[in-house]
Structure 1
């Protein structure tokens, strides 16, 4: 049904529970699709299958160590902790080896943090909708009752959207004025290209960039910088759900891009806080950040907007934001986005912004991240019919 409705559009990432039949269907129908497991259902299954095998305190300790292991950013460290966990809890060993071990590439952060996920780690939104419908629909309910309930849910969503639209029309002074005041040229392009909901999210990142202090680091001491970031453990829930913690380790970033591609490294610390992130500027005009927003959400983060105002080497381009977030008329225009000129906000007196200066920037790393555009020609034709 999905393939028919999208004219064989390849799904990029799919989240499901650990149902073997579903996993088998995905591997057969969408062999190139990344299949991730819902962490909410993994937790439910831990409670269902191991709570009786382990004592109460032992199960609590096991669950904490499992999620500590699951949140590990470095794959080698994850594997060491995972082996230690299996040895420490022999009573859970059979379940771990049969149910969790073969699927660890689908739920461990170190293996899933290089994919677009829009910040998702579970299917709870769908489960929530199913729960609402299940509560009001019985075995003797009519189809009309089901339609009315679904329509009620849709009406509530529509009402929320209207309220948000009204709020956006109210003149306000404060953070909301930052994009026009400090990122005027970028805000103009963003408003032209992106869907309204995405304009709000992108401008929110611009606003929040002023919460951070930035420090330029010496690329020559990259090893010591990596060493400083070694302690990235997170034990307070799901790593993806915490807005401020590191989502990808510097070691992984550098292993993918190569040391020779690094132009500048910037350290960012939230004002009056201790949370630290790093932004790396690349020689091809691209960049990457340890918050990983560019990969998981496919738009630019607050840390980069801070550096954009500090470094003459930082470049902004509308192509950094994936085309999935563009307006329909922009997509239907079928224009080459990369023909747009990049924007620099921090310019020395000896610099001028011109097209010749930017002809050297290929943005290969960004193009590699986005891969094949999700809104392809087949889907455009379907959308127009």
Structure 2
């Protein structure tokens, strides 16, 4: 009974993954899901119609092997064809319009058959035997066939039907991973403790994870861990092919991966293809095909709470995991303990300082208007944010006083950025969104003012918009969900830069907050 229940749960999950509106990254992924769907449910597929445009596959239809009209023999004997007009079919399409990510979409799915999905001679007892022989004894089809025909001599167990039943239990590891991850995400989604769906999920490069994430969180941005991208099983073969060129390849790859403009990324990628011909297939099929998941030029605008998966993080994680395993301490208990300690520490530091001491210690300025503005901001964020986030936001306000802010017209600020970007070098976790990228996403007629904010080491640019919104090239507002130091500096120079608590991501608000942030007045610097 337990196996039947698990089987039914698996079938329900598979049906949830493949349905009208489901999307896939490429044709291989779509085909894998369709074939695994058939394998688990116990029927065979055939490829039917397809449509190509310019040598690229645009549409594909899969049908049940029992689809179509049966063919009669010439002598009007009983037809021996398997075709019985089964209606099951699925249409896949790669639309040219409104499909920037070039996703494969399920446009039509007729999910019912006019026949049983396993022959009637496969009784519950026979199927249970097949499950035991397949999953636990690891016995192949030939031995199973001999065993079952000897045990059930009165049953007609055809080779193909037996293979279909075996296929239901001999599910690929990837499909099992999809089901496991899918069920886990569904459980998390239904957890009443989640206030809203995640904006970004960073995982390894398993295709199963990608399918599961897209099935549960359709609006979520899915990113790949660079560590897992380069140290997957397929990468070991690349390492051998490159030999002594491996270190140089990593250097060139990271220059390309960390390019913040798509044009520069594409130029760098062409150089990789030219300089490392021995791994062109890997570069094209494994990396470039999934560039939207790992290249900064394509993922730089996503919320990550400023988290990223880089090499030293994974090394530290490995050391911690090994140590905890030896001490038999669950890692979740350690994380909870650390979080509680940090909360208590920040709260103790914050509570022992009153407002006057905070102003003297943090806001070292002789301008009383700046002190008043920052004091009002501090009072407002206290009502909504936790102690940890309050201190993070106060730190940004403190750092803002180390910068110089100058207003420029839009034409001049473009030229200033060109000079600055040309001298900019890559630093781990250093994000910068080029103005050209921002201009491509907004209506430049809605820009109120443009500002350059800089110190002796760094320079960023602020665009103030008509609707009160702003853009900063540092991307802290997107990655952290907090207001950045550059914007706070501009606030002390113009009343057109206003602080509103709604600028801060709701993820950082206190639980059960009684105040409504939408009714908080905007705070400005009074000249």
Give the TM-score of the pair, scaled to structure 2: 0.57
Q: Is the 8 A contact 1:265 1:280 kept in 2?
A: yes
Deviation at residue 101 of structure 1 after TM alignment: 1.1
Aligned position for 1:16: 203
Deviation at residue 340 of structure 1 after TM alignment: 2.2
Deviation at residue 20 of structure 1 after TM alignment: 1.7
Deviation at residue 93 of structure 1 after TM alignment: 1.3
SS in 2 for 1:328: coil
Q: CA RMSD in A?
A: 2.8
Q: Distance in 1 between matches of 2:484 and 2:270?
A: 35
Q: Distance in 2 between matches of 1:118 and 1:298?
A: 7
Q: Is the 8 A contact 1:68 1:234 kept in 2?
A: no
Q: Is the 8 A contact 1:72 1:233 kept in 2?
A: no
Higher Rg? 2
Q: Is the 8 A contact 1:73 1:110 kept in 2?
A: yes
Aligned position for 2:448: 263
Deviation at residue 36 of structure 1 after TM alignment: 0.2
- 2:519 aligned residue (339, 347, 353): 339
Does residue 323 of structure 2 align to residue 132 of structure 1? no
CA deviation profile, 1:113-155 (whole Å, cap 9, x unmatched) = 11111112218868856753444547xx9xxx455x7545643
Aligned position for 1:250: 435
- 2:485 aligned residue (297, 302, 313): 302
Aligned position for 2:376: 185
Q: Is the 8 A contact 1:39 1:122 kept in 2?
A: yes
Q: Is the 8 A contact 1:193 1:326 kept in 2?
A: yes
Q: Is the 8 A contact 2:373 2:524 kept in 1?
A: no
Q: Which runs of 5+ in 1 are unaligned?
A: 349-385
The 5 Å alignment of 1:49-198 reads: 49-56=237-244, 58-122=245-309, 132-137=320-325, 145-146=328-329, 151=333, 154-171=336-353, 175-176=361-362, 183-198=374-389
The 5 Å alignment of 1:363-382 reads: none
Q: Which runs of 5+ in 2 are unaligned?
A: 1-183, 365-369
CA deviation profile, 1:305-331 (whole Å, cap 9, x unmatched) = 00000112111111111111111122x
Deviation at residue 211 of structure 1 after TM alignment: 1.2
Q: Distance in 1 between matches of 2:445 and 2:223?
A: 33
Q: Distance in 2 between matches of 1:104 and 1:263?
A: 35
SS in 2 for 1:10: coil
Q: Is the 8 A contact 2:257 2:265 kept in 1?
A: yes
Q: Is the 8 A contact 2:460 2:472 kept in 1?
A: yes
Deviation at residue 299 of structure 1 after TM alignment: 1.3
When residues 90 and 103 of structure 1 are mapped into structure 2, their CA distance, relative to the original with a 3 A threshold, is same
Higher relative contact order (CA 8 A, sep 6+): 1
Deviation at residue 10 of structure 1 after TM alignment: 3.4
The 5 Å alignment of 1:278-293 reads: 278-293=461-476
